[in-house]
Amino acid sequence: MKFPFLRRPAGAILTLGLLLGTATSCKDLLDKQPLSSISDATFWRTANDATLALNGVYDTGYGYTHYTFWAGQSLLGLDLMAGDGSEKEYIPDQFTDGTLNSAYGFVRDYYTQTYRQITRCNNFLDNIDKVTMDAGQKAIMVNEVRTIRAYDYFNLALYFGDVPLIEHVLSVEEANSVFRTPKADVWAFCEKELRAAAAVLPPSVPDASQGHMTAASALGILGRLQLAQKKWADAATSYKTIMDFGYYSIDPRYRELFLNAGELSHEVIMSQQYIRNSYDHTLLQYLTPETWGGWHQYSPFNELVKDFECIDGLPITQSPLYDKNNPYANRDPRLDLTVLISDRSTFRGRTYSALPNTTLPDRLNQYPGIWSGYAIYKFLEDDPNVATTTNDGNNFTIIRYAEVLLGYLEAKLEGGAPVDQALLDATINKVRGRAAIKMPAVTTTDPATLRTVLRRERRVEFAFEGLRYFDCLRWGIIASENQKQFTGMKLTNNPSTYTAFPVDAEGYYLYKKRNFIVGKNELWPIPQSERDLNKNLTQNPGY
C-alpha cells in the first residue's frame, strides 16, 4: 500500500537535495498485521495512523540490496571495504583502490537512501502531534524515531564528514539550498537526541515487538558515537547502563545468533527485521557458493583468517599449536563458524571445495583475480527448509550485547582506568567464554598488550557484521589496513616450486592489491548528483 504522508509533490525530483518523502510500499514488518487503505484526508488522526507511519519509518526497502546503514548487505560491505574481503565485480574495491569518486553509485546510495529515511523520520516528527492517542505510547514512538534519525546522522557524519543537518521536512526550494553542517555539530545533535530517547524508551521490548528501538538501542548507538569521539568516560557510562539493565546477556550459542534460530536471543539489542515469504531478503543468494545454487559473490581475505587465534588463546605467530602446513587446525572455533574453507568446511551435507583447475562449481580459477577461494559461512542457513537463497527471513543484527561488553572494556582501558581480572572476566572473557566457543580467558592487564588483544577480538567476533570500517576509522588504521597486498586460500606447502597460480612465501594465493589514498579516502565524496542540485554543497578534499 502507499503511505500518503510519503507522497511526492508534482514535478519534484526525488533526491536528498529535495529531502522530500518517497512513495513506498508497506510490508508491516514490525507489527505483522495487514494494513488497510488510507487517504490523505483521514491520516494523522488515530493511533493506527501513527503505527502505520512508524512502520514506514522503519521500512528501509525490500531485501538486502539497498545500500543504507541498516541493510545487511551494505553493512557486510563495510567490513569488506575495511580489509576483511572483497566482492567479485565492483563493491567495495572502488572505495579502497584509489579510484573512488563522486559519481560512484554506491556512494550515492549510502547517502541518498539514508536521507530518505531521515525524511520519513522528519515527516513523522512534524506530524505526530496531530494524532490523538495515549500520551505515553506517543512518547515512545517519537523517541524510537529520534533514535533512528540519530543513527542515520551518526553514520552519515562518520563516513562523509560535514553533512546537512535537517530536522524538518523542507520545501523544494529550501532543500536545494541547504549547507553542510560541521561534523562536530551533527554528532552533538545525535548525542542530545540519543540521551533524550534513552530516558524515555523501555530497556527492552517483548518478543512480539522485536525490532523496535529501545533504551538499549539508543545507548548502544550513543556508545559508538562516544568511542568515535574518544569520550571514554561517557562511553563507559552508556555501556554500563545497558549492562545494569540485567536483561541482555551473552548467548551460549554463536552460529545460531546469525540465523533464524537466534532472532529472539537476549544478546540481540538492535536488528533489521525480515519475514520469510513476506518481507524477505536475498543475502543468501550472494553468500552461498555455486555448489548450492548461490553466487559466492563475497570472499574473505586471508588476512582476516590469520587473525583468528589458536585454541590456546595465542595468535598464530606465537602459538606452538599452529602448523603452517595445516593452518586451519587448532584454531578459534569462530573461524569455522565464520568462513567456508576449501576441503575442510561442510554445508548442507557436502564438502565445500574451491580447488583450482577442476570442474567444481566454486573452483578458484573460475573467476581469476576476483575470487579468493574462501566464502562467508556466518549467515548461511544449514536447513534448506528454513531458507532458500532467494527467500530468507532471518534478521540482521546491528548491535549485540557482545559489542556492549567489549566497548565498555575499551572505554575503561583507553580512559586510563585500572584494569584487573574482574573487569576482564565481566567483559571480554564472557564473550570468548560462551559455551559454543570456549576460548581461553584473557589475563593480561598490560594496556598495550590488552589493546592488541581487544582489537583482534572485535575483528573476529564481529566479522562481516558492519563494525570493522567503524573501528578502523576511529583507531586511525583504515589506510594501513587497506594499503597492502591481500591473499586468499592456501594453495601449496611448497611455494618455491609452485607455478600454477601466484602465491606468497607461505603458499597463499596472491589475490588483490588495494591502493587507499591517505588524506583523501578517509572520507567518502559528496555525491555529484546531489551537488548538481544544490550548489551550496561543498566537496570533501581530493574529490
Asked if pLDDT for residue 24 goes beyond 80, the answer is: no
pLDDT-based confidence at residue 32 (cuts at 50, 70, 90) = very low
Global pTM value: 0.92
User: Among 42-46, 232-236, 247-251, 503-507, where is mean pLDDT lowest?
Assistant: 42-46
pLDDT-based confidence at residue 90 (cuts at 50, 70, 90) = low
Mean pLDDT, residues 10-19:
30
Regarding predicted confidence, which is higher, 2 or 304? 304
Q: Average model confidence (pLDDT) for the chain?
A: 90
- And the C-alpha cell for 469? 570500517
Name beta bridge partners: 343.
Answer: none
- How many Å apart are CA 165 and CA 179, to the nearest integer? 8
Regarding predicted confidence, which is higher, 19 or 248? 248
What is the Cα 498 distance to its own chain's centre?
A: 38
DSSP H or E run through 399: strand 396-400
Mean pLDDT, residues 437-461:
98
Mean pLDDT, residues 481-488:
94
Q: Cis omega before residue 92 (within 30°)?
A: yes
Residue 204's nearest CA partner among 256, 267, 152, 138 is 267
Burial class (CB in 10 A: 0-12, 13-18, 19+), 503: buried
Find out whether 213 and 147 touch, Cβ atoms under 8 Å: yes
Mean pLDDT, residues 305-324:
98
Which pLDDT does position 41 carry in this prediction? 55
Task: Please list, in sequence order, all residues whose beta carbon lies within 8 angstroms of the beta carbon of residue 41, skipping any fewer than 6 positions away.
Answer: none
Q: Which residues of 330-342 are buried (b: 16+ CB within 10 A; e: fewer)?
A: bbbbbbbbbbbbb
pLDDT-based confidence at residue 34 (cuts at 50, 70, 90) = very low
- And the C-alpha cell for 472? 578502523
Asked if pLDDT for residue 22 goes beyond 80, the answer is: no
Which pLDDT does position 114 carry in this prediction? 95
pLDDT digit string, tens, across residues 384-440: 888 888 888 889 999 999 999 999 999 999 999 999 999 999 999 999 999 999 999
Mean pLDDT, residues 227-248:
98
pLDDT-based confidence at residue 91 (cuts at 50, 70, 90) = low
Asked if pLDDT for residue 8 goes beyond 50, the answer is: no
Mean pLDDT, residues 115-124:
96
- How many Å apart are CA 438 and CA 429, to the nearest integer? 9
Which pLDDT does position 5 carry in this prediction? 27
Domain residue spans in the chain? Answer: 47-278+395-533
Task: Please list, in sequence order, all residues whose beta carbon lies within 8 angstroms of the beta carbon of residue 57, skipping any fewer than 6 positions away.
Answer: 117, 120, 121, 124, 144, 145, 148
* pLDDT above 70: percentage of residues in the chain: 91
Name beta bridge partners: 490.
Answer: 508
DSSP H or E run through 329: none
Q: Which residue has the cell 508534482?
A: 10
Q: Which residue has the cell 539514508?
A: 114
Which pLDDT does position 390 carry in this prediction? 82
- How many Å apart are CA 222 and CA 228, to the nearest integer? 10
Mean pLDDT, residues 194-217:
97
pLDDT-based confidence at residue 33 (cuts at 50, 70, 90) = very low
Which pLDDT does position 71 carry in this prediction? 87
Asked if pLDDT for residue 9 goes beyond 80, the answer is: no
- And the C-alpha cell for 52? 502505520
- How many Å apart are CA 461 and CA 335, to the nearest integer? 10
Q: Which residue has the cell 562467508?
A: 376
pLDDT digit string, tens, across residues 358-370: 999 999 999 888 9
Under CATH, to which class is 47-278+395-533 assigned? mainly alpha
Asked if pLDDT for residue 89 goes beyond 80, the answer is: no
Name beta bridge partners: 340.
Answer: 375
The CA-atom distances, in angstroms, between 379 and each of 76, 356, 364, 494 are 11, 25, 22, 34
User: Among 10-14, 32-36, 185-189, 531-535, where is mean pLDDT lowest?
Assistant: 10-14
Which pLDDT does position 31 carry in this prediction? 43
Which pLDDT does position 385 carry in this prediction? 84
Asked if pLDDT for residue 169 goes beyond 50, the answer is: yes
User: Among 26-35, 496-505, 507-516, where is mean pLDDT lowest?
Assistant: 26-35
Residue 77's region, left for phi above 0, alpha for psi from -120 to 50, else beta, is alpha
- How many Å apart are CA 208 and CA 440, to the nearest integer? 37
Mean pLDDT, residues 221-249:
98
